[in-house]
Amino acid sequence: MNNRIQEAFASKKNLLNTYFTAGYPSLHDTVPLAQALVAAGADILEIGMPFSDPLADGPVIQGSSTVALANGMNLPVLFHQLQDLRQAVPDAPVLLMGYLNPVLQFGVDEFCRQAAAVGVDGLILPDLPLDEYEETYHAIFQKHGLKAVFLITPQTSEARIRRLDNLSEAFLYLVSGPGTTGGTTPTDAAAQQHYFERIAALRLRNPRLIGFGIADKAGFDRACQHAEGAIIGSALINALKDADDAPAAAARFVRGIKQA
């Protein structure tokens, strides 16, 4: 099975990974949003699986999850919607991002089987313990051709970073600073610079994308100076809120980030 994630990094520079919540703002927006984002220039799609207790997500993404759950989004509905995914976006890498609890309830092997069947490339599960991944889930992910994406924070030790780098065949998700997604707390610029330089000096195998707190073109361009691209979620969700036409709003947002 070809690795769409690695192909994207090999063929493009300054990649934009856009996060949006499945079933938000309306239940049936998932695939139309995916198509609009890619058409406007998004390089990777990260589809959020809404969950009632998301550990790493700030208020904006939590709010979108609450709406999506109220709209009727759940894993069976999502997999049904994603049957049309690869007709809409034949080549873009697609990740599912969420939390372990719903995946365990669904059944890890069955979840991975259905994800692979609809053309998902990889998974981001921030609360999946690394030891459990190595002992139990790595083999299941591999069986279904799914790549795991791991998060690195300024507090992550070099030994753990190297372990994550060895285990991944996708990219490493650099959390830009302390806090949850969409944070507006000013980050210590010198500390952040040191963190990014420390990671770069490790000469890791996998490419890196920077996420958390990136909201506009200036933030995206800054991130691209220290990594192969960036992940934007909360700012996109905000752009979809109250939009008359969510796919059109998503496309406008991406063009604003990617314009030369």
Q: Name the active-site residue from 46, 197, 216, 244.
A: 46
Compute the distance between CA of residue 126 and CA of residue 123 in angstroms, rounded to an integer: 9
Distance from C-alpha of 80 to C-alpha of 84, rounded to nearest angstrom: 8
Point out the catalytic residue in the list 29, 43, 57, 121.
57
Q: Are 130 and 105 in contact (CB under 8 A)?
A: no
**What stretch of H or E contains 209?**
strand 208-211
DSSP strand E in 31-156: where? 44-48, 94-97, 122-124, 147-148, 150-152
Q: Which residues contact 72 (CB under 8 A, 6 or more apart)?
A: 23, 27
CA atoms of 249 and 240, how far apart (whole Å): 6
Clarify whether 46 is annotated catalytic: yes
CA gap 231, 149 in Å, rounded: 13
d(C-alpha 251, C-alpha 163), whole Å: 37
Output the six-digit token pair for 30: 């998932």
Q: Mind telling me the catalytic residues?
A: 46, 57
